[in-house]
Chain A
Amino acid sequence: MSEAIALQQPAPLGLPARLARLLPGVALLFAIGYAGKLAEQLLRDYGKAHHLALPNVEYVLWAIVLGLIIANTVGVSPVFKPGIATYDVWLKAGIVLLGARFLLGDVVKLGGISLGLVAIELVVAIAIMTAIGRAFRLKPKLTSLLAIGSSICGVSAIIAAKGAIDADDDDATFAIAAILALGAFGLFAYPALGHLLHMSDHAFGVWAGLAVDNTAEAAAAGAIYSDAAGKIAVLTKSTRNAMIGFVVLGYAIHWAARGQATAVANRAAFVWQKFPKFVLGFLFVSALATAGAFQKEQVASLANLSRWAFLLTFAGVGLKTDFRELKKQGLRPFVVGALAELSITVVTLLLVLGAAAVFAL
């Protein structure tokens, strides 16, 4: 996962110089995120002052839309890029801190339900993406990348898998752009559909965590629906992320058996290396909160710090989504991705509605 961050330099720079390179991009993330927060407040205040029943547009949506507009019109200057790439760091830090808002018992219960659903989602998503990829005669490794991206954890999974199955840079860039673009569409479609179906915060959160591929977008989709749904979406998505090592290992073995990738020497080490460490941090903070390590105000502060971290992440989601990347590989792989996502959306929705009825989510 760490490879997702553009911190590695060709020539080694000192720590202060590296941090200085991040500043413009981080400042841009903050400016866009904060503008989103202000926009939410302004709209709410305007509605109150003029007695208008305006829809509550969450800051998340404002921040993402602002980022999307900037990235796809004027574009982002290279000076901002290293800092924007830190959005992944803020996401993971935000998830660790979010642990304070969960009791460990809830994590185990919800995590258990999620794990069962994730297992089904993984099998279905991989099967669907592989079948559609074959039907449309995509390059097999591109299909593998899209299958991994759509079944597990979007961008980080694709980057983790790229090295493991020796895939082309172009294929990986495309798969990432496709996952992000489809995710951006999902951000608008999922909450709308959730409201239409009168889904509970819990059920919607689980659905967003299962169906939206990129962790940042899953968290955003949940948060657009409601604060509680955002929390649950992050938990479900983290459960899904925890599976990354096993799925990537499966694909690495598959391609190595065909002599088209290097064989994995130590499978346990491979799974551990790919395991998202922030999940451990999340569980640790949740355990501390459950043990009563934090006072009520401290839990509130931790939750707010987590919100600020997510604010930077959501600004990054919009800025990282570049629809122009998609044009480079043509429409066919994108159609495959879109068809597969649509099928996964329907299957996971049915799963969640079923689970909601059984477990009263």
Chain B
Amino acid sequence: MQSRRLSLDWWTVIGALAAAALIKIGFIPRIPW
């Protein structure tokens, strides 16, 4: 189980943070609900 590659858990966090960054810099202007 132990490997040097990042686990899917980490990639999920990185993906969510990347989305937050895109919203922060205004690349994604507005997300409706």
Binary contact readout B9-20 vs A (1 if CB under 8 angstroms, 0 otherwise): 110110111011
Given A305-B31, A308-B31, A96 and B12 contact (CB-CB distance below 8 Å): yes
Chain B residues positioned under 8 Å from A277 (CB to CB)? 7, 9-10, 12-13
Which residues in chain B, 1-33, are within 8 Å of chain A measured between CB atoms?
1-2, 7-10, 12-13, 15-17, 19-20, 23-24, 28, 30-33
For the complex formed, measure the closest distance between the CB of B6 and the CB atoms of chain A, giving whole angstroms.
Answer: 9
A-B contact count (CB 8 A): 75
For the complex formed, measure the closest distance between the CB of A38 and the CB atoms of chain B, giving whole angstroms.
Answer: 13
In the complex the two chains form, is B12's CB within 8 Å of A301's CB?
no
Chain B residues positioned under 8 Å from A2 (CB to CB)? 7-9
In the complex the two chains form, is A305's CB within 8 Å of B7's CB?
no
In the complex the two chains form, is B17's CB within 8 Å of A278's CB?
no
In the complex the two chains form, is A96's CB within 8 Å of B23's CB?
no
State whether the Cβ of A68 lies closer than 8 Å to any Cβ in chain B: no
In the complex the two chains form, is B30's CB within 8 Å of A278's CB?
no
In the complex the two chains form, is B31's CB within 8 Å of A301's CB?
yes
In the complex the two chains form, is A301's CB within 8 Å of B23's CB?
yes
Binary contact readout A45-56 vs B (1 if CB under 8 angstroms, 0 otherwise): 000000000000
Chain A residues positioned under 8 Å from B8 (CB to CB)? 2, 5, 7, 89
Q: In the complex, which residue of chain A has the Cβ closest to the Cβ of B10?
A: A277
Chain B residues positioned under 8 Å from A304 (CB to CB)? 31-33
Given A2-B7, A304-B31, A93 and B20 contact (CB-CB distance below 8 Å): no
Binary contact readout A220-237 vs B (1 if CB under 8 angstroms, 0 otherwise): 000000000000000000
- Report the Cα distance A277→B13, complex, angstroms: 7
Given A2-B7, A163-B1, A304-B33, A281 and B17 contact (CB-CB distance below 8 Å): yes
Chain B residues positioned under 8 Å from A276 (CB to CB)? 9
State whether the Cβ of A92 lies closer than 8 Å to any Cβ in chain B: yes
Given A89-B8, A278-B9, A97 and B16 contact (CB-CB distance below 8 Å): yes
In the complex the two chains form, is B12's CB within 8 Å of A92's CB?
yes
Chain B residues positioned under 8 Å from A21 (CB to CB)? none
Q: Is the interface of B mostly helix, strand, loop or mixed?
A: helix
In the complex the two chains form, is B9's CB within 8 Å of A302's CB?
no
Chain A residues positioned under 8 Å from B16 (CB to CB)? 92-93, 96-97, 278, 281, 285
Chain A residues positioned under 8 Å from B20 (CB to CB)? 96-97, 100, 285, 288, 294, 302
Given A5-B8, A277-B7, A96 and B32 contact (CB-CB distance below 8 Å): no
Chain A residues positioned under 8 Å from B1 (CB to CB)? 3, 163, 273
Chain B residues positioned under 8 Å from A273 (CB to CB)? 1-2
Chain A residues positioned under 8 Å from B30 (CB to CB)? 297, 300-301
- Report the Cα distance A281→B31, complex, angstroms: 20
Chain A residues positioned under 8 Å from B13 (CB to CB)? 92-93, 96, 277-278, 280-281
- Report the Cα distance A301→B19, complex, angstroms: 10
Q: In the complex, which residue of chain A has the Cβ closest to the Cβ of B2?
A: A273
Binary contact readout A255-278 vs B (1 if CB under 8 angstroms, 0 otherwise): 000000000000001000100111
Chain B residues positioned under 8 Å from A97 (CB to CB)? 16, 19-20
Chain B residues positioned under 8 Å from A3 (CB to CB)? 1
State whether the Cβ of A57 lies closer than 8 Å to any Cβ in chain B: no
Interface residues of B (CB under 8 A from A): 1-2, 7-10, 12-13, 15-17, 19-20, 23-24, 28, 30-33
A–B Cβ pairs within 8 angstroms, 24 of them: A2-B7, A5-B8, A89-B8, A92-B12, A92-B13, A92-B16, A93-B12, A96-B17, A97-B20, A100-B20, A163-B1, A273-B1, A276-B9, A277-B9, A277-B10, A278-B9, A285-B17, A293-B24, A294-B24, A301-B28, A301-B30, A301-B31, A304-B32, A305-B23
Apart from the given pairs A2-B8, A304-B32, A308-B33, 4 other A-B contacts in the complex at a CB distance below 8 Å: A1-B9, A277-B7, A285-B16, A301-B31
